[in-house]
Structure 1
């Protein structure tokens, strides 16, 4: 299990890491970050199964970290830590859908129970149904990528827990659900841009599952390195060169 710990106070962070190392399930991989921005960058390469985060941090607080990480599909399980025993924090934590809310100083037994609970939600390497679930989900996406899809939609469709699907994606593809789906959509868009010159960029964006041309262009550039229009021009130029060369 991969665990990320986030706290902007170095001494506290060091202490948290030490405690988690002592009580985490055997074989856990533990990483740390000093603030939300560093945590988001760490998540992109580390892909944690659960993030333990402080609330009060500079630039972005813990709730903002949770919101952005979930939006980008980087992590969907969070344990919140704070030194403020106030109901408003508890209420915000519950609204954020966190695994739990803990007060500093950290209780070893409490965090041990929570981390073991998280591990139980993850797909086990020995799970005989794991491969079958993965095949079903990836096949479903291949056919339905153009539709409005989410982890909750998949969970309902496959009768599986969203957290299970999220973890399964990481293990099977090495990527998040959001990144995998966007990558699939952009590959299909590239095929259409190359083979269907009569279709407008706007029409293609809708055909592969994007609500707006603007968002499609933004995601396309992120994954393909250029805009849809520029990509089409490059493909047309290559075709003309092949034709001129008698290929």
Structure 2
């Protein structure tokens, strides 16, 4: 099991890591981060099964970390840790759908029980099962990339846990679910921009699964390095030059 621990206080983080190392299920892999930004970057390569995070951190707090991590498909299970026993935190934690809410100082028996529970909930799969799931998921995306897709939707359709799918994506493609889906959509959009000149950029954005032309243009530029309109114009110029050279 992969466990990520996040706290902006170095001494506390060191202590948390030591405690978790003592009580985590055998074979667990433990990583740490000093803030939410570092945690998000760590998640992209580590893909934790569960993240233990402090709430009060500078620039981006624990709840914002949870929101961003889930949005990018980086982690789905969280244990919130804080030194403040306040109802508002408890209410936000429940709304965020976290595994549990713990107060500092950390109780070894309590965290041990939680981590054991998380371990039991993780799907166990052989390599052959893992490969079969990967093939099904990638084939489904190829056929349905134009639809409104999310990790939760995919998990429900495939009867798998969202975090399991996240880990699978990282292992099979080296990428996150969101990046893989966006890359797929942009590749399909490039084909349409090149071969369907009668279609508007807005129509193409809808055909490949984007709600708005503006968001499509933003994602397209991120992955293709240019805007949809500029990409189409460049392709048309290349084809004109090829046609002229062909006549010569």
Same fold (TM over 0.5): yes
In 1, Cα distance between equivalents of 2:238 and 2:25: 54
Task: Tell me the matched-pair count.
Answer: 246
In 2, Cα distance between equivalents of 1:2 and 1:229: 43
Gaps of 5+ in 2: none
Mean Cα deviation higher: 13-22 or 153-162? 153-162
Q: State the 1:157 CA deviation.
A: 2.0
Alpha carbons of structure 1 residues 84 and 39: separation in structure 2 relative to 1, 3 Å: same
SS in 1 for 2:127: coil
Deviation string 1:6-39 (CA, Å, 9 cap, x unpaired) is 1111100111111222223333332222112222
Alpha carbons of structure 1 residues 237 and 87: separation in structure 2 relative to 1, 3 Å: same
Q: State the 1:74 CA deviation.
A: 2.2
Alpha carbons of structure 1 residues 125 and 158: separation in structure 2 relative to 1, 3 Å: closer
2:53–2:81: 8 Å Cα contact kept in structure 1?
A: yes
In 2, Cα distance between equivalents of 1:14 and 1:206: 48
In 2, Cα distance between equivalents of 1:237 and 1:21: 60
Mean Cα deviation higher: 36-45 or 180-189? 36-45
Instruction: Give the 4+ runs in structure 1 shifted more than 6 A.
Output: none
Q: State the 1:196 CA deviation.
A: 1.3
Mean Cα deviation higher: 221-230 or 154-163? 154-163
Mean Cα deviation higher: 28-37 or 79-88? 28-37
Deviation string 1:186-213 (CA, Å, 9 cap, x unpaired) is 1111111121122111110000000000
Alpha carbons of structure 1 residues 175 and 99: separation in structure 2 relative to 1, 3 Å: farther
Mean Cα deviation higher: 49-58 or 201-210? 49-58
Q: State the 1:127 CA deviation.
A: 6.0
Q: Counterpart of 1:143?
A: 143
Gaps of 5+ in 1: none
Mean Cα deviation higher: 63-72 or 33-42? 33-42
Q: State the 1:231 CA deviation.
A: 1.6
Alpha carbons of structure 1 residues 45 and 171: separation in structure 2 relative to 1, 3 Å: closer
2:123–2:161: 8 Å Cα contact kept in structure 1?
A: no
2:2–2:47: 8 Å Cα contact kept in structure 1?
A: yes
Alpha carbons of structure 1 residues 109 and 126: separation in structure 2 relative to 1, 3 Å: farther
Alpha carbons of structure 1 residues 156 and 44: separation in structure 2 relative to 1, 3 Å: closer
SS in 1 for 2:128: coil
Alpha carbons of structure 1 residues 115 and 31: separation in structure 2 relative to 1, 3 Å: same
Mean Cα deviation higher: 18-27 or 202-211? 18-27
In 1, Cα distance between equivalents of 2:48 and 2:153: 22
In 1, Cα distance between equivalents of 2:120 and 2:176: 20
1:123–1:130: 8 Å Cα contact kept in structure 2?
A: no
Alpha carbons of structure 1 residues 2 and 236: separation in structure 2 relative to 1, 3 Å: farther
